[in-house]
Amino acid sequence: MEQIEKKIRYSKLMSIYGSLLSYSQREIGSDYFIYDLSISEIAESRNVSRSAVEDAISKASKKLDEFEDKMHVLKRNENIMKITSKLKQKALNCSEIDEISAIEEELDYGI
């Protein structure tokens, strides 16, 4: 998996499962995956070592993967987004497109 795709995937997983992580994993994971801060920037801002940041990111990643392997929320959301995209192409009027877009927004921001 390409680095950018990996960061995007983990930022989505953070949005879904982040609250299930420990406080430090959640905070450092958010800084790294969502706010795209470097390991050095995170270490400096939190006054911890780079290895502590790398460890927290590694543990957070593993936990996020475990949660997704068990619950499949991201996979289901992506499948629904594919379906809604096809529905929008077949929609007959603006009202239908708006309703489908509302579903997509809920999936993106509702979790």
Residues 19-63: tens digit of each pLDDT:
999 999 999 999 999 999 999 999 999 999 999 999 999 999 999
Confidence of residue 8 (pLDDT cuts 50, 70, 90): very high
What does 51-96 look like in DSSP terms, one character per residue? Answer: HHHHHHHHHHHHHHHHHHHHH-HHHHHHHHHHHHHHHHHH--SHHH
Q: Is the pLDDT of residue 111 over 70?
A: no
Q: What tens digit of pLDDT does each residue of 63-85 get?
A: 999 999 999 999 998 998 898 88
- Kindly list the domain boundaries of the chain, sorted by start residue: 3-70, 74-109
From the options 3.60.15.10, 1.10.10.10, 1.10.3210.10, 1.10.1040.10, give the CATH code of 3-70: 1.10.10.10
